[in-house]
Structure 1
Amino acid sequence: MGKGAEGQPDAGLRSLNHYQNELPPWRYWPRQKLLPLVRYETPYLAWFQEKIRTPALDSYFAFTANLGTHTFFMVFLPILFWSGYPSLGRGMVHLLASGIFFSGFIKDLLCLPRPLSPPLQRITMSGSAALEYGFPSSHSTNAVSVAVYSLHLLDSPDSTLSPDLTFFLRILTYLYVTSIVLGRLYCGMHGFFDVIVGSALGVLLAVLHYTYDPAIDEYVHSGSAKQVALVILIILTLVRIHPEPADDCPCFDDSLAFAGVTIGAQIAYWHLARANATWDSPHPSTLPRSRFEAISWMQMGLRLAIGVFLVFAWREIMKPFLLRILPPVFRGLEKLGLLLPRRFFTKASQYTKVPAQLKDHDVLPSFSDIPNIITNIRHPRRRAISIGPQSEADAYETLAYREKRRRDSLSSPYRGSPAVDAGNDEGSRSGTTLHKLSRKPSKLDEYEHMMGTGTNAVDVSSESATGMEPFPEFISDERDEEKLFAQIKRPRVRYDVEVVTKLVVYCGIAWISIDGAPVFFEMIGLMPS
């Protein structure tokens, strides 16, 4: 949090001025038009959450949320290429890359907060999810795009699956997408508006994919190196124009990672088309499914194990290497005025070296993260239940809503009126207003009263949580604003060289998964003949 000369919070922390100062009018205006909707639906979300919450559902929705994350798909997608389903893998890569990129683009463009906590309790197994803006829901975009695409394939006349298996997979797809989308509401991570727009974006991307993707693939497969370079240039241009957020939000990191994946995938497709152009079924430059029928389960297991090792080894070697050699290069480019730095990324001239171990918001986990991931899978009841602001966006929204409520109270014509206090009908403008003032507060009123009262996030132990803990009493005095910002969870310091590093690393991961690993499998005799 920035501070003035007197150690006080910078101007703008007490109201919406922060976003008015940070965003251009063409971004600030739609944000202000949509913000009342986010606030309006919050009490209803809290009512919905309390009505259906149980410890079992807490564990279920917290665990299944992992199936809609970028990390899950980054681990799962390479397996499709190594086990004889490259066409499906290609479709999923394109869908998820576009979904993550464009949902992150909209998030950073509008900077809309998540529904407030309290009154909501946020249930999650991911420590970084709450750091992002809320609108739209990336989980919903991912899940719906995958579901629509999968259902399209199941209904395709080219499908060779039996009717019973098709029915089972269709039910599984509906269960999957329902669990992800409903879970974002249940877990207090998103509002109705977030998941509706996120889902609509997923449907749109899926329809665009199976309508136009074959033509785009044909362009890359049959095109020259210049045509592939043009596609890569378009992707890099989209990365460059990705909106600068008003707060330190990690959405750009995810968009950057999947932009790198898309670049690596296009290079791999083009190279495979040149090297193995005779194969055109089930997709140009890929091996037909029939060639995998001769592989034993042991050979398939070796393929998967070696492929995973190659991906992780590339990341573990290349990432620290680039973070070590790029800072001097960036300092030189900075002196020449050739860099276009992004906000919230520290310039190379302001640091001597990048720390060796970065605890960052990575799409693909490192080797050291694997034991913790396995533990979470084995113990799905482990989750965090947080109450209170968790990010800068949460804190600003808490202060802004608090200020709005104060102004509404001051502008009320009945505030402090002796006639109203005494119950004098002549002091009111209408009988309806007196009825509203005197009626018993509803549960929704209670939830609305909680909004804007948080000072910092309180984590409730999942081991002892019943899912029905009462909300703690929060201080509502504005003097605790500085404490609020001091205690929220913030993304770690990020460095300018990480932009290029992430592009290169994830470009390499995609190339290894699609092109490099299969070549290596053939060299060691694990490629079907």
Structure 2
Amino acid sequence: MAPAHDEPRLDAGNKHQDHYARRLPPWRNAIRKTLIPIVRWETPYLAYMQEKLRTPTLDSYFAFTANLGTHTFFMVFLPILFWCGYTDVARAYAVDMCRMVHMLAAGVYWSGFLKDLLCLPRPLSPPLARITMSGSAALEYGFPSSHSTNAVSVALYAIYKLQGCRDELQPTQFMALQGLFYFYTVSIVFGRLYCGMHGFLDVVLGSILGAAIAVAQLMWGDLFDSWIFSNGYGPPLIATLVILVLVRIHPEPADDCPCFDDSVSFSGVVIGINVGAWHYAVSGFALDDPMPSTAPFSLETLGIGRTAARILLGVIVIFIWREFMKPALFKTLPPLFRILEQASLNLPRAFFLSASKYTSIPPLRDDDNVIPPASELPNMLANLAHPRKRSVSVGPQSAADAYETLAYRNRRRRESINSIDGPVPEESIWTPATSAAEKPSAPDDRLGRGKEQAPLGVGLLPTPMASRVHSYEQMMGQERGRPGSSISTTSPLLPSTNNPNPTPPPETDSDFAGEVLFSLEEAESEKREIFMRLTKPRVRYDVEVITKLIVYSGIGWLAVEGDLVLFELVGLGMGVRPW
């Protein structure tokens, strides 16, 4: 059995930002230090917006609709379009399934690439409350927003394609569909702000990345398809090798972040789709119009019953492949990896246990954010049916959250003694130099900052808003409640939905004096307490990377070829035969 997962080394972040300075190359750490102040600056404004807008109804709406921007939604929805999309109206979208998966894969990979490259945390909680139906989203870094990337890329591509079939739609239908895509995009992007999962920087850069991916697909997608389908097996092989290289060069994060897992999963899907679509196009089962590898389908010919059976069978086959293939690979791959490790041919990755350090892999839970195991489907459907069963959490939920919380607290402590000791560099080790009694009086500035050091823009805001934003800045980095626990919307930390203008808990002089006198021993104890409350990441095994590539390559192949051939063989197709 696998050894117990070691406790995190709490001394790694003992000197403010040293955890990231030690684990990241200097140029990556320099970019991160440049962007961190933006994340901190925007947090109180996000909290103010959340306070003004939050209602139980909006909480449920944005928690539920966030599922429409996830990898799982698109992985289930797009194959159905491909299997049952050869109709006069839907054809323009159905044949673009492969292209949309390419866009989603690019969005997941490059957003995950940037997340692990820069290791930027999500906006601090508190003061923000995080509203989510996903147990893994908060464990990822924040910059950029993958939801925003996915939503913008798919919506822009769909809107452009909608223009191509404008003559086939009634004017009201055309306007309604176009408006639906715009509304979908705004809802997903704004929902990430409302739910406290991302900041302005995250969604803006995520949206720009999504737009760039959509434009690239529209400009070069046809050229790529022509290349894949017209030159034998060489292009799919070259594309596969390029994807494997991209997987290999994915940056190592400073914390145990699941971004890499999603990137590997979608990379596997793209490999399977490229190979499957190419082979399906030459198999004799596919149509060449409007593009090679188009699945023959007619709702009038098959009827509703056979169409529903077609979809159900296709989904079942994919889940059966996943359920049987993963355990088989977990048993057969470790011995091979041990041989490669002895020959120094393994490719170790941080936070993944090498094969020589375990004898077997126990059943894994929560090991897949793209397609969950079949046993989890009833629970997922129940959550979707009852969106009010959302999780509203306050406090650090990941190692990145914890390190940022500690770093922000250290910054506040440095600022509190700044007027005594002079400016304190960000990289220096904080030590309490004076007692509270020696602190010069500053009746209008309890943290030892002059008005010129107030949060950017606060002095220019109306007094009520400036006061609320400043109170939320005071909350930043203060731990209350157990991370990840569900709390009511009337918690003292959160704006009550029954009281539009709640009063924040007062901060007493004794609280401030205790903060200044905070000793190094207490700081270490504080840090240990925060980390002990975090959900410990499960043990991750080196064979999981190859397993995901193989399993998801098979899923991609089944979606564009395997299931379609099966439909024809069992009487759920259009009767197309290559012989």
**How far did residue 295 of structure 1 move?**
1.6
Instruction: Write out per-residue CA displacement over residues 49-83 of structure 1, whole angstroms, 9 at most, x where no aligned residue.
Output: 00000000000000000111111111112111111
1:269 aligns with 2:309: no
| Of 455, 461, 474, the match for 1:449 | 474
Confirm or deny that 1:87 pairs with 2:98.
no
Q: 2:574 aligned with 1:528, yes or no?
A: yes
Letter in 2 for 1:511: W
Q: CA deviation at 1:465?
A: 8.0
Change (3 A) 1:16 1:423: closer
Contiguous gaps of at least 5 residues in structure 1: none
Partner of 1:26: 27
Determine the C-alpha separation between the residues in 2 that align with 1:431 and 1:526.
73
Return closer, same or farther for 1:94/1:423 CA change in 2, 3 Å cut-off. closer
**1-side partners of 2:320 and 2:451: how far apart?**
73
Who is 2:316 aligned against?
Answer: 309
| Aligned ranges 1:332-371 → 2 under 5 Å | 332-371=339-378
Distance 1:131 1:38, change over 3 A: same
Letter in 2 for 1:43: P
Name which of 337, 342, 364 aligns with 1:330: 337
1:234 aligns with 2:219: no
Contact 2:415 2:449 in 1 (8 A): no
Alignment correspondent of 1:151:
159
3-state secondary structure, aligned to 1:385? strand
| Contact 1:134 1:189 (8 Å CA) reproduced | yes
Q: Report the alpha carbon displacement of residue 135 of structure 1 after superposing the two structures with TM.
A: 0.1
463-472 or 508-517, which deviates more:
463-472
Matched, 1:320 2:345: no
CA distance in 1, matches of 2:452, 2:214: 50
Out of 180, 187, 190, which is 1:182 matched to?
190
Q: Which SS does the other structure have where 2:573 is aligned?
A: coil
515, 528, 544: which one aligns with 1:498? 544
After superposition, the Cα gap between the structure-2 partners of 1:372 and 1:458, relative to the gap in structure 1 and judged at 3 Å, is closer
Over 3 Å counting, the alpha-carbon distance change for 1:465 and 1:513 in structure 2 is: farther
Q: Distance in 2 between matches of 1:329 and 1:216?
A: 35
What is the distance in 2 between the residues matched to 1:127 and 1:284? 40
Counterpart contact for 1:113–1:393, Cα < 8 Å: yes
Does structure 2 conserve the Cα–Cα contact (< 8 Å) formed by 1:99 and 1:141? yes
Distance across 1 between alignment mates of 2:6 and 2:414: 26
Partner of 2:64: 63
State percent identity of aligned pairs. 51
Provide, for residues 192-247 of structure 1, a one-character-per-residue CA deviation record: whole Å limited to 9, x for no partner: 00000000000000010011011111111112212221110000000000000000
- Compared CA separation, residues 299 and 429, structure 1 to 2 (3 A): closer
User: Which residue does the alignment assign to 1:41?
Assistant: 42
Is residue 14–residue 399 contact of structure 1 (8 Å, CA) maintained in 2? Answer: no
Query: Does 2:292 match 1:284?
Result: yes
Cα 1:246–1:142 shift into 2, 3 Å: same
1:374 paired with 2:399, answer no
The alpha-carbon deviation at position 9 of structure 1 amounts to: 2.6
Decide which moves more: 223-232 or 195-204: 223-232
Residues 135 and 423 from structure 1, CA distance in 2 versus in 1: closer, same or farther, beyond 3 angstroms? closer
Q: 1:157: how far off?
A: 5.4
Contact 2:296–2:574 (CA under 8 A) maintained in structure 1 = no
1:503 maps to amino acid: L
Cα-to-partner distance string for 1:292-351 (whole Å, 9 max, x where unaligned): 441200010000010011000000010111011111111111111110111100011111
- Tell me the secondary structure at the aligned position of residue 442 of structure 1: helix
- The answer to whether the 8 Å contact 1:55/1:465 transfers is no
SS at match of 2:13: coil
> What pairs up with 1:436-475 in 2 under 5 angstroms?
442-454=467-479, 456-457=482-483, 459-461=485-487, 468-469=495-496
Following superposition of structure 1 onto structure 2, how do residues 345-424 of structure 1 map, counting pairs within 5 Å?
Answer: 345-412=352-419, 421=441
Contact preservation (8 Å) 2:286, 2:295: no
Q: Which residue of 1 aligns with 2:426?
A: none
Deviation of 1:162 after TM superposition, in Å, equals 2.6
Taking the aligned partners of 1:278 and 1:129, their CA distance within structure 2 comes to 38
Aligned residue pairs, count: 520
**Normalization by structure 2: what TM-score?**
0.84
SS at match of 1:123: strand
Verify: 1:510 aligned to 2:556, yes or no: yes
Write the deviation string for residues 432-454 of structure 1: whole angstroms up to 9, x where unpaired: 79999xx9981111101111112
Partner of 2:75: 74
Work out which of the residue numbers 208, 233, 252 in structure 2 matches 1:200: 208
The residue that corresponds to 1:255 in the other structure is: 263
Secondary structure of residue in 2 paired with 1:136: coil
Kindly tell me: are residues 393 and 522 of structure 1, through their superposed partners in 2, closer, same or farther at Cα, counting changes over 3 Å? same
Change (3 A) 1:419 1:335: closer
**Distance verdict in 2 for CA 1:120–1:431, change over 3 Å:** closer
**Structure 1 Cα separation of the partners of residues 313 and 565 of structure 2:** 12
Find the aligned partners of 1:463 and 1:309 in 2 and give their Cα distance: 40
Note the C-alpha offset of 1:491: 2.8
Q: 2:228 corresponds to which letter in structure 1?
A: V
Distance 1:140 1:422 in 2: 44
Are positions 1:54 and 2:55 aligned together? yes
The structural deviation recorded for 1:129 is 0.4
Judge conservation of contact 2:20–2:29 (CA < 8 Å) in 1. yes
How far apart are 1:279 and its partner, in Å? 2.9
Report the CA distance shift for 1:176/1:423 in structure 2 as closer, same or farther (over 3 A): closer
Alignment partner of 2:10: what SS?
coil
CA pair 180-32 structure 1, distance change in 2 beyond 3 A: same
Deviations 1:75-101 (A, max 9, x none): 112111111254131221111111101
Are the equivalent residues in 2 in contact too, given 1:80–1:88 (CA < 8 A)? no
Amino acid at match of 1:297: I
CA deviation profile, 1:100-148 (whole Å, cap 9, x unmatched): 0110000000000000000000000111100000000000001111110
- Report the RMSD for the aligned CA atoms in angstroms: 3.0
CA distance in 1, matches of 2:443, 2:357: 65
Instruction: Specify every segment of 5 or more residues in structure 2 that has no aligned partner in the other structure, as ranges.
Output: 86-90, 423-433, 497-501, 516-521
Which aligned pairs between 1:117-196 and structure 2 lie closer than 5 A?
117-156=125-164, 160-196=168-204
Q: Given that residues 260 and 506 in structure 1 are in contact (C-alpha distance below 8 angstroms), is that contact kept between their aligned partners in structure 2?
A: yes
Cα deviation 1:403-450 (Å, max 9, x = unaligned): 1111122213599798963879xxx999979999xx998111110111
- SS of match in other structure, 2:164: coil
Once the two structures are overlaid, the 10-residue window that deviates more, 463-472 or 75-84, is: 463-472
C-alpha distance in 2, partners of 1:429/1:133? 30
Distance in 1 of aligned mates of 2:131 and 2:196? 7
Q: Structure 1's 137 and 159: CA in aligned 2 closer, same or farther, altered over 3 A?
A: farther
- Given that 1:265 and 1:514 are in contact with CA atoms closer than 8 Å, whether structure 2 keeps it comes out as yes
Residue 131 of structure 2: SS of its match in structure 1?
A: strand
Q: 2: distance between equivalents of 1:240 and 1:367?
A: 30
Structure 1 pair 337–179 and aligned structure 2 pair: CA distance change class (3 A): same
**Residues 272 and 285 in structure 1, CA contact (< 8 A), matched pair in contact too:** yes
- 1:484 paired to 2:530: yes
How far is the alpha carbon of 1:396 from its aligned partner? 0.3
